[in-house]
Homo-oligomer: A and B are copies of this chain.
Amino acid sequence: MSVARHVDDLRSGRVDLAELGQRMHASMARMFPICRSVTGDGVRTTLDLIEEAVKLERHAVPSGTQAHDWTVNEEWNVRDAYIADASGRRVVDFRESNLHLVSYSTPVRARMSLDELRPHLHTLPDHPDWIPYRTSYYHRTWGFCLTDRQLQSMGPGPYEVVVDTDLGPGEMVYGEVVVPGETDREVMVTSHVCHPSLANDNLSGIAVATEVARTLQALPALRHTYRFLFAPGTVGSITWLSRNPDVVPRLSHGLVLTGLGGPGPLVYKSTRHGGRGVDRAASHVVRRRAGEVRGYSPYGYDERQFNSIGFDLPFGRLSRTPHGEYPEYHTSADDLGFVEPTRLADAYTAIMEIVDVLENDRSYRNLSPYGEPQLGKRGLYPTTGGKSAGDAVMAMLWTLAYTDGSTPLIDIADVADRDFADVRTAADELHRAGLLERLSSQHPA
């Protein structure tokens, strides 16, 4: 079974997409309660769960390690954190939601009034039932996030405030899955693993990436080597880049996955230069699925690091409605109910279609180029003329009209306004009928 065959199965309904979506959602449900941050045991546990589906290589980088302009953070772990009232009742409790604690909060054990507490409390007055997500990686402080309704119900105090965290030398961990192909030209897929109990951002990206990795591990004869990176955002990808100078030059295409289970159509964010191979593949697939293609911007996720001037790698980003454009973003409302299994399965299918283009796009040469070859005598055309040609015939006609030896199938698909998979199928049939020569030595860049 090849990528092409798998994509044809996905498109034809021979794969049960509902079951696929449920499986990814279930894996998100197991990862959801874990308290993740840039460092700490949460990332380790998350990698454990990914490893149940795909074999991972793990890497641990000591705190303080320099990675280009950045330094690997100290390790942060939480034992407990709460605000209790005079009666000992916890009015804000980390054990109920790990969003309640500002990430990287320093240890505290104090008794203070509400007025003293207030500078350390974060709420969303416009969404009084939601807890915001806040971090303070680079400024040593502590804080609690709570619903505005919780805050409004709090009396003047005093309160017992406990942040029982460890912040000190340790390590940052990340995982990689490498699926070797016929060449060492690599396609990299990354998903950040540093966010706590937020479902769309980014358990959705992790679950879909894991499923894609599992599929590709089971398929033979890939043209590219595929590398999946599960690492903390920003400092994680910069650290990976600093530690893999030998791999960097082999990265041909990159895709950052995030926010794939929330509302809205698929949105592809182009590489910095645009017009690169991954842009052509992903733009084609996303547009044909009624999604949206946007230009590059230097705000977002790890595409920023890979596209930076020094590395200049062609990494696009696939999401649905992007971060910051839906109100649930970075709040407790981004929970398991916010993401839908069908959307995960749809994103998975789109990614496999992108992989299909990266793997199977090539040029052919029309061997019967003087006028149109007679498809009828080869059994490729309906015998009674006068009606319009069917879709399969049209895909063949488009393919014959443009296979001049230098036009790749993706360009034919775009000009023909047809799915790449249909043009690939047409080229296969015409090749079998002896009408096309496959130009074999195409470099998978």
Question: Interface of A with B (CB < 8 Å)?
Answer: 67-70, 102, 132-139, 143, 234, 237-238, 241-242, 272, 295-299, 304-305, 307-311, 324, 330, 366, 368-374, 376-377, 383-389, 394, 397-398, 400-404, 415-416
Contacts and interface: CB of A to CB of B under 8 A. Distances in A.
A295 B415 contact: yes
The 3 closest A-B pairs by CB, nearest first: A310-B369, A139-B383, A310-B370
Nearest to A133: B386
Contacts of A388: 299, 324
A308 B370 contact: yes
B384 A135 contact: yes
Most chain B CB neighbours (cut-off 10 Å) among A134, A376, A383:
A383
Given A298-B372, A298-B398, 5 more contacts: A68-B371, A138-B383, A139-B384, A297-B398, A308-B372
21 contacts: A69-B372, A69-B373, A70-B371, A102-B384, A136-B384, A138-B376, A139-B376, A234-B371, A234-B372, A238-B371, A238-B372, A241-B370, A241-B371, A296-B401, A298-B372, A298-B400, A299-B388, A299-B394, A307-B401, A309-B401, A310-B371
Given A69-B374, A401-B272, A386 B311 contact: no
A141 to B, nearest CB: 8
A251 to B, nearest CB: 14
Nearest to A369: B310
Contacts of A369: 308-310
A324 to B, nearest CB: 5
Contacts of A295: 415
